[in-house]
């Protein structure tokens, strides 16, 4: 499941995908106001803000809580604030049920729900968080805490870590993070608060499409306005137009895959399973410490998901880096590590950079072919759903509405006949087969995306090295800003008593 990836939509059939059902009373213009009443009782000179969770409980998977717990373990002992999901006292952590629990569920009710109202979370239970949460992680809470912290001059760099789900807009600046209460935090929202801040900021986002926030390299998150003057940088789980892996209701960490898991483990000197790694694999500049960018590099190499991690410095290079011209050697140990590791794994000679791009293009063509087949399969699924729904509702007209006054009585009186219908009806079986084919193609596309991601990470590293060499040869203010972004990305998290 993708981190920040879409959840099945409510209502039949389950061919469209959305992250959350948006209440029509909620203003969708992505303009969250900072709640003046919000006060998590924090010191404005705090060193970190850790936030995350889903817009609703069904999109607040336990892996998000686990990742925030890892992040908290790094910084605990230094001043900061933790914002999570619905806040203290809410039952908002989604945990996958055991197989035995699922087998105990009413099969007729589950089949009807799956047919008429498919949605994420039915196979899960919900519990309160085990984290020491200060407040909910709504857009207004995150912006309120950030605004208060950034207003403290001389307090030193601030570390902001956000985990959860994200959505892509028409342009990178329109991308959003989905937060509690179906609120949205956009690139533009964050830029407005950060631009007015008095402290440097290092940002880590693990959401889908999080690379849209790399626009923070620019003033107002608008490339046309040039370099941002407020010192800040960011590291992101994927580019602005690609999903990222993660957000799993299965609490077994061995079954999970996500940028945050690799990134946070690397900051501790570990692999994703908690095993100690050789220092040389992580400390790429040999300074005896593991920086944010070095941990990010580990995720680029080791993560097996569909994300293509990126940074503000990468975004800046792709805006101002010369497409051609003289080049000089630049020391970029992080890019060299990616090129060396992924080049060897994929059999790509770094001296022939076009080969990685060619392999990626071939995989993208295969993905496009599967997408065409998926669209056809979804049309067939929709048609089959209509036939199956008509067959059952013609006999039991309220079974698609569990809130109808007659639903419980009809289900109780005709349970045996309904169960028999679901067992033998040809239209229902045809619907399940059609949906199964669409699901198969979805999985196939996901597998191809995971393979393509590794080629794209390699291709981007090769491109970054080339762009940096040409920009260094040209020099000037644009090169200096690139160096500033890199220095910020190479900073350390505010390690507390729980850190490595």
What distance in Å separates the CA atoms of residue 269 and residue 23, rounded to the nearest whole number? 43
* SS3 at position 430: helix
* Main-chain phi, psi angles of 362, to 5 degrees: -65, -40
> Which class for 403: exposed (0-12), middle (13-18), buried (19 or more C-beta within 10 A)?
exposed
Place of tokens 């509690």: 180
d(CA 201, CA 141): 18
Q: For residues 51 and 236, give the distance between their C-alpha atoms in angstroms, rounded to a whole number.
A: 15
The residues that bridge with 126 in the sheet, in sequence order, are 94
- Does residue 376 sit in helix, strand or coil? helix
Task: Express each pLDDT in 356-380 by its tens digit.
Answer: 999 999 999 999 999 999 999 999 9
Mean pLDDT computed over 26-45: 48
> Beta strand pairing status for 48-53 and 158-167?
parallel
What Rg, from alpha-carbon coordinates, does the chain have?
Answer: 24
The answer on pLDDT for 498 being more than 90 is no
Closest Cα to residue 479, out of 256, 316, 248?
316
Task: Reply yes or no on whether the pLDDT at 113 is more than 60.
Answer: yes
Query: Does pTM top 0.85 for this prediction?
Result: yes
Q: What is the pLDDT of residue 221?
A: 96
- Res 102: pLDDT: 82
Residue 250 confidence (pLDDT) above 60: yes
Q: Which residue has the higher pLDDT, 261 or 40?
A: 261
**166 by DSSP, 3-state: which?**
strand
Residues in the chain: 500
Q: pLDDT-derived band of residue 133, with 50, 70 and 90 as boundaries?
A: very high
At 275-308, the pLDDT tens digits run 999 999 999 999 999 999 999 999 999 999 999 9
Please tell me what DSSP assigns to residue 101.
H
Which has the closest alpha carbon to 7: 15, 319, 17? Answer: 17
Mean pLDDT (the chain) is 90
Angle of helix 426-474 relative to helix 354-393, nearest 10 degrees?
150
CB-CB contact of 242 with 445 (8 Å): no
Task: Identify the pLDDT of residue 145.
Answer: 94
With a cut of 60, say whether residue 10 has pLDDT above it. Answer: no
Q: What is the pLDDT of residue 32?
A: 39
- Identify the band that residue 249 occupies on the pLDDT scale cut at 50, 70 and 90: very high
Gap between the Cα atoms of 9 and 90, Å rounded: 24
Structural contact between residues 357 and 463, judged by C-beta atoms closer than 8 angstroms:
no
Residue 353 confidence (pLDDT) above 90: no
Q: Which of 152-156, 175-179, 269-273 has the lowest mean pLDDT?
A: 152-156
Q: Domains of the chain: which residue ranges? A: 2-14+28-347+471-489, 355-448
**pLDDT tens-digit readout, 469-478:** 999 999 999 9
């Amino acid at each position: 499941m993708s981190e920040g990836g879409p959840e099945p939509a409510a209502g039949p059939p389950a061919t469209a995908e959305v992250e959350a059902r948006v209440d029509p009373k909620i203003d969708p213009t992505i303009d969250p106001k900072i709640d003046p009443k919000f006060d998590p009782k924090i010191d404005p000179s705090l060193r970190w803000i850790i936030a995350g969770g889903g817009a609703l409980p069904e999109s607040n998977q336990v892996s998000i809580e686990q990742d925030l717990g890892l992040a908290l373990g790094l910084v605990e002992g230094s001043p900061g604030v933790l914002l999570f999901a619905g806040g203290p006292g809410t039952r908002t952590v989604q945990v996958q049920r055991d197989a035995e629990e699922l087998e105990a569920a009413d099969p007729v009710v589950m089949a009807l729900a799956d047919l008429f109202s498919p949605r994420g979370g039915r196979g899960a239970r919900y519990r309160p968080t085990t984290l020491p949460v200060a407040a909910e992680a709504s857009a207004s809470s995150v912006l309120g805490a950030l605004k208060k912290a950034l207003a403290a001059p001389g307090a030193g760099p601030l570390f902001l870590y956000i985990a959860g789900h994200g959505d892509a807009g028409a342009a990178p600046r329109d991308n959003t993070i989905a937060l509690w209460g179906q609120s949205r935090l956009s690139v533009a929202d964050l830029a407005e608060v950060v631009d007015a801040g008095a402290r440097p900021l290092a940002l880590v986002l693990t959401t889908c499409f999080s690379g849209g926030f790399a626009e923070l390299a620019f003033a107002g998150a608008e490339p046309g306005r040039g370099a941002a003057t407020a010192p800040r940088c960011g590291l992101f789980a994927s580019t602005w137009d690609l999903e990222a892996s993660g957000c799993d209701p299965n609490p077994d960490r061995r079954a999970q895959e996500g940028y945050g898991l690799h990134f946070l483990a690397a900051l501790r000197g570990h692999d994703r399973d908690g095993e100690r790694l050789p220092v040389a694999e992580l400390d790429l500049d040999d300074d005896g410490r593991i920086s944010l960018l070095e941990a990010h590099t580990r995720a680029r190499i080791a993560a097996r998901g569909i994300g293509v991690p990126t940074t503000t410095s990468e975004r800046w290079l792709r805006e101002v880096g010369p497409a051609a011209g003289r080049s000089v050697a630049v020391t970029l140990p992080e890019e060299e590590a990616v090129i060396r590791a992924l080049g060897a794994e994929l059999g790509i000679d770094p001296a022939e950079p076009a080969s990685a791009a060619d392999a990626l293009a071939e995989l993208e063509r295969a993905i496009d072919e599967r997408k065409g087949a998926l669209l056809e399969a979804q049309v067939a699924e929709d048609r089959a759903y209509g036939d199956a729904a008509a067959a059952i509702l013609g006999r039991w007209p309220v079974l698609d509405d569990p809130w109808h006054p007659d639903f419980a009585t009809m289900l109780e009186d005709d349970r045996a006949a309904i169960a028999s219908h679901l067992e033998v009806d040809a239209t229902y079986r045809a619907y399940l087969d059609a949906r199964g084919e669409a699901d198969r193609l979805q999985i196939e596309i996901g597998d191809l995306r995971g393979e393509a991601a590794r080629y794209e990470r390699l291709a981007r590293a090769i491109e970054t090295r080339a762009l940096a060499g040409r920009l260094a040869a040209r020099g000037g203010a644009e090169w200096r800003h690139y160096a500033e972004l890199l220095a910020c990305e190479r900073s350390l998290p505010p390690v507390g008593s729980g850190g490595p």
